[in-house]
Structure 1
Amino acid sequence: MPASTTSEPAPTACLHCGSPVPSGGAARDFCCVGCEAVHGLLVEQGLTRYYQLAQGKTAPAPEPRKERAFAWLEPLMSRAESTPGPLCALELDVQGIHCAACVWLMNELFRRQPGGAGLTVDPALGKVRMLWRRGAFDVAEFLRGVEGFGYLFGPSRKRPERTSLDLPIRLGICAALSMNVMLFSVSFYVGLTPEDGDVFRLFTRLSLWLSSAVVVVGGWPFFRSALQGLRRGVLHLDLPIALGILLVFGMSLAQARGGRGDLAYFDTLNTFVTLMLVGRWLQQRVLERNRRFLLDDDGAEGLFVRREEGARLATVRAAEVADGDVLVIAPGDLVPVDAVLLDSGARVSTDWITGEPGERAVGQGGALPAGAFNAGREAVRIQAKQAFTDSPLVALLRRAPTAAGGPALHTRFWDRVSRRWVVTVLFVSALGLALWWPAGPDKALEVAVALLVVTCPCAIGIATPLAYELVQARLRRGGFFIRSTDLLDRLPRVRKVLFDKTGTLTLGRLELVDRAAVAGLTAASRDIAFDLVSRSNHPASRCLAAALAREGARFNSEARVSELAGQGLELNREGVRWRLGRADWATEAVDTGHPEREPTDGASCAGGSPASRHSRPSGRVEVLLSGSGLAAGPVLTRDGVPVAFFQLRESVRPDARREVQALQGEGREVWLISGDSHGRVSDMAAALGIPTQHTLSGQRPEDKAEAVAKLDAADTLYLGDGVNDSLAFERALCAGTPAIDRPVMPGKSDFFLLGEGLGAIREALRLSARLRQVVRRLLLLAVSYNVVAVAVCLAGWMTPLRAAVAMPATSLATVLFTVWWLSASRERAAASPTPPLREVPA
């Protein structure tokens, strides 16, 4: 986490993942609700061996989603069960695998369910393959059980990239061959000469054959890249690498055929190729792990829906939905098009499309917008009012363009470095050839080859990829996962940080303002309230259920609770009517023919003060609201008499205010862009310390995109969580999301966050600036070394032995410098405040 300018107590470590617990969080032992929920499940089900296997490598757990839809699973199950034989097989992608403990946990859960025949988990790719006995295994139940631990399953779309399989194999082969060649070369350096006869010739031939294999196997990626660059008219670093490999091999081949294997550069050549492959592998390793952590997004093609076709129900792709189709929307399913409700009533959530929280009731014939989710507990029938091609979701679900003009701006520095390096190396080699030509072609070629060998771009080929890998690994441990190759090059340019509100600065759930309202209830009233809220899926009910459970409320399985959409919950027990919901509805008078009852249980009212025994509000109860994001909370009544008022508000991320102010203190503009009302956005901005002129409210998806385009000067970072942020993502310099449990947004983001804190964003900005400094120092070191090496070569003093020592020695030095500098930066940053920002040249 980023350093603070004030002395604060060290945060405690999360019991589940080991991440620092943000100050002000809901739980003191956990960094987020997801970790608390998963830890509770592991303990409850006796699966704590997970922590022994994880060895502290567990990532923060996302909050498990309830009532997640499995419409996508139905066609896959039909295909799996249509195959002959006693066993069925199914391969799925899984999100959230990060270590061997995850593999053990899935296998243990699979073993506990009857009917399973075998489970194979591929943690590197994020895939599972399961076998089960036909008719004896509930696949959906198993998947729901595993998803309760923070994982997500989806159709099998992940495929290993060719380079991810290719490079490690090439690297392994070259490393093994190079070690043997180096052993043969040692014999030449310690005195083996042509006079030794057969032994000398054998070692020379073995070195030649093994080096030929290294050139073919390890050099091919650089040869291919150099040729592609030449065809496009682009000079990049792979060109001098490829030329160096070919010329050094050619020179060494000529020396070996002439009987002077002791003058060849075989060991240097092998070491050079192997180290370049190491650098290339480091560049892709962490990024691929981060990408495979998530499910692959297939845009609109990945959405499925159930459609009535006569007497049968077919699962089809959303793209096949036509105007007038009757669809069945199960709990958790998405409404793909604008539609009307055919059933008597439904509860829907539109947070994904609008970005704002809350559920609402819809009556028969009511309109359902595209992008709404069924938030109820029963499936509902709807009729499409448009074809999917006309749905507003189509534009929001489209994939981000793969070849935008923006990235070229961020790689301009590396393009300049590469071109200048290539031109300089080729010029110096040609100069050496010309200067020594009068001494004979052999000597001139030897000098030119030596120049290509010792001017190895080790700082760029090895140390720089290592620096990127170290930074990415540190950020990953803090819950910041990078997906885009050049994000760390773009982050130092960020001068404006743009936040969506709901689900980004807030946690997308409600919290109780005053816990005394629950603590002040008698045990009987607490149990009644718990019976009410535990049978509802409304966000307010879930919030109160958690608070009541913490106070020891007990559940009565025989209670019968009715829920009136848009009003609240009702329970009748022993002739007493209990209601929890809207104040005007809950306090309706009860015509019992007896004097009005008064609350006699000492329950608290309006935040914990005892309810009056001699007064009763008539008509509507007014709930006092104050602060940011407060909503009129539910009222608990007994026969219409208020027992307790529960003030609720959106739960803000625990470190949101501190991080927003820290970003502003570092010289960055912070903006709040939301589709919510002006009052709620203004209240949130005031609570976090964001200037009023930096807030935009009531923003539609198109408005957000336009606002980002106006603000962006290739210096904006946008953080959002809903599909309504999709268009804005495409306009920002870089974009990220904390919402990895919903489709589309993770696939469009440059990074994603785990956990409930926002501190990882500032840490990423700080480390990216540090990385830029390290890389430029590495280039300075490389230039200094090459000036000395070129002088030695032009003087004719470079020999194969000296080259064999100089090249790996300078590579090792740059690597050690990189590791030391990046590890020491943490202590330096903790000891001093972050310096103010300065403009970064384009």
Structure 2
Amino acid sequence: MPDSAQSRPDEAPCLHCGSRVPEGAASREFCCAGCEAVHGLLVSQGLTRYYDLATGGTAPAAEPARGRGLAWLEPLVARAESAPGALCSLELDVQGIHCAACVWLMNELFRRQPGGAGLTVDPALGKARMQWRRGAFDVSGYLRAVEAFGYLFGPSRKRPAPASLDLPIRLGICVALSMNVMLFSVSFYVGLAPEDGDVFGLFTWLSLGLSTLVVAVGGWPFFRSAWQGLRRGVPHLDLPIALGILMVFGTSLVQARSGRGDLAYFDTLNTFVTLMLVGRWLQQRVLERNRRFLLEDDGAEGLFVRRQTGARLDTVRVSQVAQGDLLVIAPGDLVPVEAELLDGHARVSTDWMTGEPDEREVLAGEVLPAGAFNAGREAVRALARQSFQDSPLVALLRRPPEGGAGRGAGHTRFWESVSRRWVVTVLAVSALGLVLWWPSGPDKALEVAVALLVVTCPCAIGIATPLAYELVQARLRREGFFIRATDLLDRLPRVRRVLFDKTGTLTLGRMELVDRAGLESLGGEAREVAFNLAARSNHPVSRCLAEALSRQGARFDADARVTEHPGHGMEWVRGGVCWRLGRADWRMRVEATTPTEAVSTPERAAADGLRGTVLFRDGAPVAAFPVREALRPDARREVLALQAEGHEVWLISGDAPARVQALASSLDVPAGRALGGLRPEEKAFAVSRLGAADTLYLGDGVNDSLAFERALCAGTPAIDRPVMPGKSDFFLVGEGLSSLREALRLSRHLHQVVRRLLHLAIGYNTVAVAVCLAGWMTPLRAAVAMPAISLATVLFTVWSLSEPRAPHGDSTPVGRPTEVPA
């Protein structure tokens, strides 16, 4: 079976993040365009100290968002500026913080901005608090400077989960108390007896008092969870843990009150509670870190638009938009409802709704579709034709129930069965020991029963299993696969069908040149002109061409006077020569005295047969630049590997059926499994029809929202867009898809490891029960046996899930290419 975790011998790490460069990537030095863009900025701005602080690699960088609107920022800055005092203060959430290097970079960019008074970044929670002198600091300019490095800012919504603050405190208290109890217990094991009088009594009551605190502080999370499970009629996994804690503590209390503290299990009890808390903390640590990596999703309440009332311009939530409102849509802002364009023309992008990267022109009097973004360079005015409650966005932005309908049911049933059987078996065995030893006296019978409760502790469930999940989650995080749902790793082994949206998922949502012949045929002047024409357009084709020309050394001319002809292309009259870059069938200007434009037959004939975007000089074609959607570098390899491993791969897209079929053919996906032209509700129906109980869906647009709610698992690579990351069970970072297959593989392996841990626990408990029933178990032996088996299960878990040793290859340090000075 192919193993994406294994590196090829000729692979070198990404110069920015240290990840493996996918086979077929556009650059052999970078794993994705985001890393290449961020690395270039760090080098050009003299910020390469970032790599000294990154200490061995970071997560792949998200591609910097283009033209992202900041309408949400305006009311926050206005409120901060209106507060009394010489300094203004604002707290924001940040997406993408992962190490000390990120904190240093944000502080360094803040230091370079005039007017700033102070910046505090909390990397654990993903927050930044800035202070500046009133009227002297450009907040939006600073945010855009930081977002150019792949980060995103948003309103302050992140709050630490109660458990994230509660568990470390409880764990610290229990560790401190348990160490003292162990010291007292050692004295009992080396000979301190009731005959020693006051010292024995003092140590006994100190052990009892400290153990009471440990049970109260450390046991509470398990007691609460077990009780909540019982109220719902679900025997939670915490039930056997809670019962074990209470019964061992109760028996030890009886022994202490009778003057036999040496027969109590205080040290074992304290160790057990502390180890269970460690397991609980491990379960939550990586998941919370992944969730804080992203901005918090607030659905429609987190989206804003500018509304004009007379001479006043207000920034309001999209949910407040009513029919007849006059909206001002700034570059990068969302059109929340269908609206009539009042200005001359606008360029809009509907990729968030359709998933397709195409932009189109809308003329005055035409309708701007709900869900479009202003892709132009100027703000436009539009008249709302409906209230937001009637907008098609409402259904797509609604927040699903936690975990999604029906998700994780199989996982729950499995652990319910394990928990129920464990509880029944432990109680039955303890009762059996009590009955068998009752003829020898109540004290001996109680000692055997308690010993059975102690040694049958669910260490494999409470410690080793959480550790196994933490190891897998951390490993996937390094691969660029970030888990958000608690039970995702339990659902992934059930996946039999993998459904891909097309654009932005299997493709990168941007264009690439089909061939470089036209590019390489350009002379020096033509290359400079083509670059300056392309660089002044936001169209996806222009951005592709501008990046390619920039790599060839083309320079930007700030004095160029370029005119955009909507729907056709860009024009620049330079030195009396008319240069045009645009559609191959663009009407050419006839050299005549007439002010009107007409079709020049020879020039039209010259343009015939040209594909893609064409550069013209005085009407004559100079070069053609055919383009296509850029496929993810390892898309074909990963799709073929998924099918070879027994997964059905489907393409579910809103794009034209012909394009979807063409892509399916290039990826060797059967034509019958490529569905195009689907609306959001049709995508959701397709998921249900194919079998939602074993389906993984990967999409990037809000048109995938309804399908997300139906699938067993859902994820997105589009973390720079609102709403969808908050609905996802996982998200991907970087341009490769190998981490998805790695997650499926590791989830199956994890499932096997957990099963083995349970079998190991059953084997240990069988031996321990036999020892207890024979009357050979003592507090000292229990104190040794329980930590020993815990350590054994932990070592077994680490060994089972250890990463394969990477082959000796290129050891180029992250961020240190030989041509870049330190």
TM-score normalized with structure 1 length? 0.93
Runs of 4+ in 1 over 3 A off after TM superposition: 4-10, 586-593, 615-618, 620-625, 824-828
- Alpha-carbon shift at residue 675 of structure 1 (Å): 0.9
The aligned counterpart of 2:384 is: 384
The aligned counterpart of 1:596 is: none
- Alpha-carbon shift at residue 532 of structure 1 (Å): 0.9
Q: What is the DSSP-based 3-state SS (H/G/I as helix, E as strand, rest coil) of the residue aligned with 1:340?
A: strand
Q: Which moved more, 1:544-553 or 1:198-207?
A: 198-207
Deviation per CA, 1:565-589, whole angstroms, max 9, x where unpaired? 1000111112211111011216454
State yes or no: 1:489 paired with 2:490. Answer: yes
Matches within 5 A, 1:590-739: 590-591=591-592, 618-619=603-604, 632-739=611-718
- Alpha-carbon shift at residue 344 of structure 1 (Å): 0.4
Q: What is the DSSP-based 3-state SS (H/G/I as helix, E as strand, rest coil) of the residue aligned with 1:755?
A: coil
* Partner Cα separation in structure 2 for residue 400 and residue 10 of structure 1: 45
- Alpha-carbon shift at residue 356 of structure 1 (Å): 1.1
* Partner Cα separation in structure 2 for residue 7 and residue 482 of structure 1: 23
The aligned counterpart of 1:116 is: 116
Aligned sequence identity (%): 77
The amino acid across from 1:765 in the alignment is L
- Alpha-carbon shift at residue 616 of structure 1 (Å): 9.1
Which consecutive residues of structure 1, in runs of 5 or more, have no partner in the other structure?
Answer: 594-614, 626-631, 829-842
State yes or no: 1:274 paired with 2:274. Answer: yes
State yes or no: 1:432 paired with 2:433. Answer: yes
Q: What is the DSSP-based 3-state SS (H/G/I as helix, E as strand, rest coil) of the residue aligned with 1:411?
A: helix
Deviation per CA, 1:527-567, whole angstroms, max 9, x where unpaired? 11112111111111111111111111122222111000100
* Partner Cα separation in structure 2 for residue 129 and residue 782 of structure 1: 49
The amino acid across from 2:528 in the alignment is D
- Alpha-carbon shift at residue 469 of structure 1 (Å): 0.4
- Alpha-carbon shift at residue 249 of structure 1 (Å): 1.4
Q: What is the DSSP-based 3-state SS (H/G/I as helix, E as strand, rest coil) of the residue aligned with 1:322?
A: coil
State yes or no: 1:549 paired with 2:534. Answer: no
Deviation per CA, 1:55-95, whole angstroms, max 9, x where unpaired? 12411011101221111111111221221111111111110
Q: Contact (CA 8 Å) 2:4, 2:742: kept in 1 or not? A: no
The aligned counterpart of 2:815 is: none
Q: Contact (CA 8 Å) 2:654, 2:676: kept in 1 or not? A: yes
Matches within 5 A, 1:288-367: 288-367=288-367
Matches within 5 A, 1:173-184: 173-184=173-184
- Alpha-carbon shift at residue 679 of structure 1 (Å): 1.4
The amino acid across from 1:131 in the alignment is Q
Q: Using a 3 Å threshold, how does the CA distance of structure 1 residues 75 and 502 change in structure 2: closer, same or farther?
A: same
The amino acid across from 2:702 in the alignment is V
Q: Contact (CA 8 Å) 1:282, 1:466: kept in 2 or not? A: yes
The amino acid across from 1:745 in the alignment is M
- Alpha-carbon shift at residue 205 of structure 1 (Å): 2.2
* Partner Cα separation in structure 2 for residue 548 and residue 239 of structure 1: 65
The amino acid across from 2:464 in the alignment is A
The aligned counterpart of 1:238 is: 238
Matches within 5 A, 1:142-541: 142-402=142-402, 404-541=405-542
The amino acid across from 2:140 in the alignment is A
* Partner Cα separation in structure 2 for residue 590 and residue 465 of structure 1: 76
Deviation per CA, 1:204-230, whole angstroms, max 9, x where unpaired? 222122111101100111111122222
The aligned counterpart of 1:743 is: 722
- Alpha-carbon shift at residue 590 of structure 1 (Å): 3.4
Q: Using a 3 Å threshold, how does the CA distance of structure 1 residues 256 and 521 change in structure 2: closer, same or farther?
A: same
The aligned counterpart of 1:97 is: 97
The amino acid across from 1:293 in the alignment is F
The amino acid across from 2:767 in the alignment is V
TM-score normalized with structure 2 length? 0.95
- Alpha-carbon shift at residue 357 of structure 1 (Å): 1.4
Q: Which moved more, 1:252-261 or 1:328-337?
A: 252-261
* Partner Cα separation in structure 2 for residue 320 and residue 208 of structure 1: 61
The aligned counterpart of 2:560 is: 559
Q: Contact (CA 8 Å) 1:616, 1:641: kept in 2 or not? A: no
**What RMSD over aligned residues (CA atoms) do the two structures have, in Å?**
1.9
Q: Using a 3 Å threshold, how does the CA distance of structure 1 residues 308 and 621 change in structure 2: closer, same or farther?
A: farther
* Partner Cα separation in structure 2 for residue 398 and residue 195 of structure 1: 71
* Partner Cα separation in structure 2 for residue 193 and residue 766 of structure 1: 56
Q: How many residues are matched?
A: 801
Deviation per CA, 1:108-148, whole angstroms, max 9, x where unpaired? 11111121111111111111111111111111111111111
Q: What is the DSSP-based 3-state SS (H/G/I as helix, E as strand, rest coil) of the residue aligned with 2:35?
A: helix
State yes or no: 1:584 paired with 2:585. Answer: yes
- Alpha-carbon shift at residue 621 of structure 1 (Å): 5.5
Q: What is the DSSP-based 3-state SS (H/G/I as helix, E as strand, rest coil) of the residue aligned with 2:693?
A: coil
- Alpha-carbon shift at residue 441 of structure 1 (Å): 1.9
Deviation per CA, 1:5-32, whole angstroms, max 9, x where unpaired? 9995442210110011111111111000
Q: Contact (CA 8 Å) 1:14, 1:20: kept in 2 or not? A: yes
Q: Contact (CA 8 Å) 2:451, 2:777: kept in 1 or not? A: yes
The amino acid across from 1:775 in the alignment is V
Q: What is the DSSP-based 3-state SS (H/G/I as helix, E as strand, rest coil) of the residue aligned with 1:804?
A: helix
* Partner Cα separation in structure 2 for residue 8 and residue 235 of structure 1: 47
The aligned counterpart of 1:781 is: 760
Q: Contact (CA 8 Å) 1:587, 1:620: kept in 2 or not? A: no
* Partner Cα separation in structure 2 for residue 406 and residue 527 of structure 1: 55
Q: Which moved more, 1:108-117 or 1:717-726?
A: 108-117
Q: Contact (CA 8 Å) 2:234, 2:416: kept in 1 or not? A: no
The aligned counterpart of 2:812 is: none
Q: Using a 3 Å threshold, how does the CA distance of structure 1 residues 624 and 664 change in structure 2: closer, same or farther?
A: farther
* Partner Cα separation in structure 2 for residue 121 and residue 433 of structure 1: 58
* Partner Cα separation in structure 2 for residue 10 and residue 781 of structure 1: 40
The amino acid across from 2:491 in the alignment is R
- Alpha-carbon shift at residue 747 of structure 1 (Å): 0.4
- Alpha-carbon shift at residue 622 of structure 1 (Å): 5.9
Q: Contact (CA 8 Å) 1:623, 1:633: kept in 2 or not? A: no
Q: Contact (CA 8 Å) 1:511, 1:649: kept in 2 or not? A: yes
The amino acid across from 2:271 in the alignment is T
> Greater relative contact order (Cα 8 A, min sep 6): structure 1 or 2?
2
The amino acid across from 2:604 in the alignment is G
* Partner Cα separation in structure 2 for residue 151 and residue 167 of structure 1: 30
- Alpha-carbon shift at residue 258 of structure 1 (Å): 2.3
- Alpha-carbon shift at residue 237 of structure 1 (Å): 2.5
The amino acid across from 2:443 in the alignment is D
The aligned counterpart of 1:840 is: none
Q: What is the DSSP-based 3-state SS (H/G/I as helix, E as strand, rest coil) of the residue aligned with 1:707?
A: helix
* Partner Cα separation in structure 2 for residue 766 and residue 568 of structure 1: 48
State yes or no: 1:138 paired with 2:117. Answer: no
- Alpha-carbon shift at residue 489 of structure 1 (Å): 0.5
Q: Which moved more, 1:814-823 or 1:552-561?
A: 552-561
* Partner Cα separation in structure 1 for residue 536 and residue 591 of structure 2: 24
Deviation per CA, 1:624-668, whole angstroms, max 9, x where unpaired? 69xxxxxx5111011111100101110000000000000011111
* Partner Cα separation in structure 2 for residue 669 and residue 233 of structure 1: 37
- Alpha-carbon shift at residue 259 of structure 1 (Å): 2.2
